[in-house]
Structure 1
Amino acid sequence: MNLSDQKWAAQASGDAGERSVLKIEAFFDFICPWCLIGKRNLDSAISRFASSRPDVRVSVQWRSHQLLPWTPLDGMPYQAFYRDRLGSAEAVAARRAQVQRAGQDAGVEFAFDRIEVLPNTAAAHDLVSLAASRGNGAQVAALIDRLLTAYFLEGKNIGDCEILERLGLECGLEHEGLKAHLVATRRLADPTGQRVAYADPQVSGVPYFVFNAGYSLSGVYSPVAIASAMALAVAG
């Protein structure tokens, strides 16, 4: 668990009977580099907000949103996919440079050259659902962060159940329950690669944050901007 997740755990452990609650719904997918930046900025925003509003308890609910549900279960060649999607190697390089610059501001050093497979993210999302059903909020946040960093910083194929097992164990999931879950994931996998996403027609892309069901931010924003939206949601 990293420092930001420890802070998140401390903030989420207060007595709801004595403190107001700010509910944040965070929609994400693991193949989106902006989601890693968005999560890190959200972590920073929560710390900033907690300093100014210790009377408010922050609760984060992570919502799965598959961007490319039709991706084959075994994945696709990553580099070729983005070259075809953007039209040229030059266009890919320009897009990655933009993401790299934004990542540096959030303390993230992307390693796109290490990525070989564009994975189907259904199994990774289902692993997060397992953690949510058996762990606490901090464990879920730590697992999401670990899956994102494994993919974007280490180039691991997070569509591979053996890799998901190792990452789940790293984040403290119980071994037998984890193995049984991944066996079931393989057996029950939808051949189209799609999982049942959280239904919200207003979400067309990720990251997407909803604050107290009344305020929302779509895309990447600075920690200051996110904290400001949190303050508005509480005031409203």
Structure 2
Amino acid sequence: MPLNIDIVSDFVCPWCFIGKARLQGALDDLRAQRPELDVRINWLPYFLNPDTPPAGEPYRAFLEAKFGGAKQVDAMHARVAEAGAPDVSFAFERMTIRPNTLRAHRLMYRAQAQGRRQTQIAALADALFAAHFLEGRNIGDIDTLADIATACGDKTDAVRAYLESDADTAVVQRMAAQVQQQGVTGVPFFILNRKLAVSGAQSVAAMGAALLQALE
């Protein structure tokens, strides 16, 4: 039984990290009931801050300017950490760079365009989120992304050459523009079997109900 899921996301979005974990929980529950389920996940790019410099910018200063000060940022971090617990944790204290995610999205696009296995795609998504939110690494940096891709089974030299070029840059930017033109104004955003949309990091139960509805 096929279940196609498009995930519109940005790898620096904490709610996308939480939403991915909740989707996985719902899928685990559903597979326990329907082991024949064939899930295909496709990641679509979204840029929370498309004007982020290519080299990134200081993380804390960016957030304090965006949210109005240190207290507001601390409160936001506390809300996110509470929402993610116990399944998703964050190491905000390690995060020093707010990265530009164009290269990260290009890396994901490349993996999908090459027809990588779903397990490899899932591992890459997990690694990109973890690198940013748990390890505080700059996922806009070519060396960092090459290391991540290599750990997920790709070839370092090929990834580095790809990221050092502008290959697929216009394609990824066009994809991001298209999802916004289709009405997506926030992430995460899930499109289930091309017929049902779910916005936000819904609970495991709510996502599970949506998955069942999409299979009808």
SS in 2 for 1:24: strand
User: 2:55 aligns to what SS in structure 1?
Assistant: coil
Write out per-residue CA displacement over residues 69-105 of structure 1, whole angstroms, 9 at most, x where no aligned residue.
Answer: 1111011111011111111211111111010011113
CA contact (8 A) 1:26 1:208 kept: yes
**Residues 1:37 and 2:18 are matched in the alignment:** yes
Unaligned runs of 5+ in 2: none
2:111 is equivalent to residue 131 of structure 1: yes
Name the TM-score, length of structure 1 as normaliser.
Answer: 0.84
How do 1:110-121 residues align onto structure 2 when only pairs under 5 Å count? 110-121=90-101
Distance change in 2, residues 1:93/1:23 (3 Å): same
Do the aligned partners of 1:66 and 1:197 also contact (CA within 8 Å) in 2? no
- Displacement of 1:54 in angstroms is 2.8
Q: Give the aligned partner of residue 173 of structure 2.
A: 195
Name the counterpart of 1:182: 163
**1:56 pairs with 2:34:** no
Q: TM-score, normalised by structure 2?
A: 0.91
Mapping for residues 43-82 of structure 1, pairs under 5 Å: 43-82=24-63
Whether the 8 Å CA contact 1:210–1:216 is kept in 2: the answer is yes
Question: 2:156 and 2:134 mapped to 1: Cα distance?
Answer: 25
Q: Distance in 1 between matches of 2:85 and 2:7?
A: 22
Alignment-mate amino acid for residue 89 of structure 1: A
SS of residue paired to 1:196: helix
State the SS of the aligned residue for 1:197. helix
Q: CA deviation at 1:209?
A: 0.5
In 2, the alpha carbon distance for the partners of 1:37 and 1:159 equals: 21
SS in 2 for 1:66: coil
Amino acid of the structure 2 residue aligned with 1:84: A
CA distance in 2, matches of 1:189, 1:131: 14
**Which residue does 2:89 correspond to in 1?**
109
User: Which one of 192, 196, 201 corresponds to residue 215 of structure 1?
Assistant: 196
